[in-house]
Chains A and B, each alone.
Chain A
Amino acid sequence: GAVVSQHPSRVICKSGTSVKIECRSLDFQATTMFWYRQFPKQSLMLMATSNEGSKATYEQGVEKDKFLINHASLTLSTLTVTSAHPEDSSFYICSARTGWETQYFGPGTRLLVL
């Protein structure tokens, strides 16, 4: 089946630093990748949609300069949280899609900003 990986699985950083999270589709080419944020005991909130080779489309209320998304190839997208603050602490999940139907999700990255 379709497998999506994320790295790292968890990261702790100091306030003010930047953190990069990778999302890879391991056995398929993903023309579209999605980045979600999940707060404790809540549903997933779509942050942005990225298509390979083009700029990401951000959802309303998500700061583009804060959450930098790069989708440089058909198997890799990265999310960089710039100048992270404690309120950015969350569970970040990516997904990748081939075709129009099914998104396959990564295992998530737990970010803790001290």
Chain B
Amino acid sequence: AQSVTQLGSHVSVSEGALVLLRCNYSSSVPPYLFWYVQYPNQGLQLLLKYTTGATLVKGINGFEAEFKKSETSFHLTKPSAHMSDAAEYFCAVSEGYGGSQGNLIFGKGTKLSVKP
């Protein structure tokens, strides 16, 4: 069975500081990994995804994440936080090809606060 663990339900950074949101996964097959962002009272927006190939993935809004198989991690980073980055972030895993229907399994989410 697959699972996702997001360390830290709440992360607070200062504007301009590095953003690091942690995600670890477990999967019995090669995973597809995703980061989504949710603003208050809105749905989820895809930030970036890893399927195959390059392990460093760049997404929208300056975010990137690196797939590290040996550490079963897919941490999300951004060099310099903006106030507009304040939101809830969800890491998700789905089975790759050969799996079932590739349903998403979500972590519990990390709320990012950005201080001026």
B101 touching A32, Cβ below 8 Å: yes
Interface string of B48-69 (1 = CB under 8 A from A): 0101000000000000000000
Q: Is the CB of A43 within 8 A of B107?
A: yes
A100 cross-chain contacts in B, Cβ below 8 A: 97, 102
Beta-carbon contacts under 8 Å, A36-69 to B: 42-44, 46, 49
Partner of A93, one of B34, B43, B103, B107: B43
By a CB distance below 8 angstroms, the chain A residues around B49 are 101-102
Q: Which chain A positions have C-beta within 8 A of B43? A: 4, 6, 93, 105-108
Give Cα A42 to B108, complex, Å: 6
Q: How many A-B residue pairs have CB under 8 A?
A: 48
Report the bound CA distance from A101 to B102 in whole Å. Answer: 7
Q: Is A82 an interface residue (CB 8 A)?
A: no
Interface secondary structure of B, over-half rule: loop
For residue A103, CB closer than 8 A to chain B, the reply is yes
Mark B79-116 against chain A: 1 for CB-CB distance below 8 A, else 0: 00000000000100010010001111011110000000
Least distance between B62 CB and chain A CB atoms (Å): 18
A44 to B89, CA, bound (A): 12
B97→A105 contact, CB < 8 A: no
Chain B contacts for A32, CB-based, 8 A: 101
Would you call B12 an interface residue if the criterion is a C-beta within 8 Å of the partner chain's C-beta atoms? Answer: no
CB distance from A3 to the nearest CB of B (A): 11
Please, how many angstroms separate the alpha-carbon atoms of A34 and B94 in the complex? 14
Residues of B near any A CB (own CB < 8 A): 32, 34, 36, 41-46, 49, 51, 90, 94, 97, 101-104, 106-109
